[in-house]
Amino acid sequence: MPRWQDLPRVVPARQHDPSHGDAFSRTLYERHGAVLLNFVLRLCNGDRYRAEDIVQETAIRAWQHREILDPTSDRVRTWLFTVARRLVIDQYRARQARPNEVGDGEAEEHAEPDPAERVVTLQAVLEVMSELTEPQREVLIYTYYLGYSVEQTATALGLAPGTVKSRAHYAIRALRASLRDGAAMD
């Protein structure tokens, strides 16, 4: 961290001028804003919103020390880069120190499915599949359970690809209707 005695100095008479703060900020952004933002963008792996927050916080800290900083000096850029880099490091450390926050939607994504529900669903699908014709079941087994493409299924079963598509379409439609009817009864 820079020592206060090493920081560039300005004329103390400016500190009583109310417009000095505005002029300080304007000059600081004009001379160093774009370079500082590019520097912080690299530190933040391209996260522009985070980089802009860091640049803004750096500017606030510079403004708080406007009596001893000269925004027209090139030496102030070193000070700005040091403050920004330390802010990025502080944010990183803060994220590492606290546990991950979990929102309402994220809890459901990470929840493991209930094994009993899986067994019930599997049983319902097996019952409904028994209602399909043998050719429809065969196509579904190849395309959905074994993961074959339409062309691979057609080759394995000795059918035309259009026939495989047609049987799969009607089989899925029958499954949906049976499962919907079964759910409506419950």
pLDDT in tens, 27-80: 888 888 888 999 999 999 889 999 999 999 999 998 888 888 888 887 888 899
Q: What is the mean pLDDT of the chain?
A: 80
Pick the CATH number of 116-185 from 1.10.3720.10, 3.30.565.10, 2.60.40.10, 1.10.10.10: 1.10.10.10
**What are the two backbone dihedrals, phi and then psi, of residue 165, each rounded to the nearest 5 degrees?**
-60, -45
Report DSSP state, residue 112. P
* Fold classified for 4-97: Rna Polymerase Sigma Factor; Chain: A (1.10.1740)
C-alpha dihedral (32, 81, 58, 49), degrees to nearest 10: 80
Collapsing DSSP states into helix, strand and coil, what is residue 17? Answer: coil
The Cα–Cα gap between 48 and 38 comes to: 9
User: What per-residue confidence (pLDDT) applies to 23?
Assistant: 85
Give the residue, 83 or 9, on which the prediction is more confident: 83
User: What per-residue confidence (pLDDT) applies to 13?
Assistant: 42
User: Which residues lie closer than 8 Å to 148 by C-beta, 6 or more apart?
Assistant: 142, 156
Entry pTM? 0.45
Angle at 40 between CA 38 and CA 42, to 5 degrees: 75
Residue-range domain boundaries for the chain: 4-97, 116-185
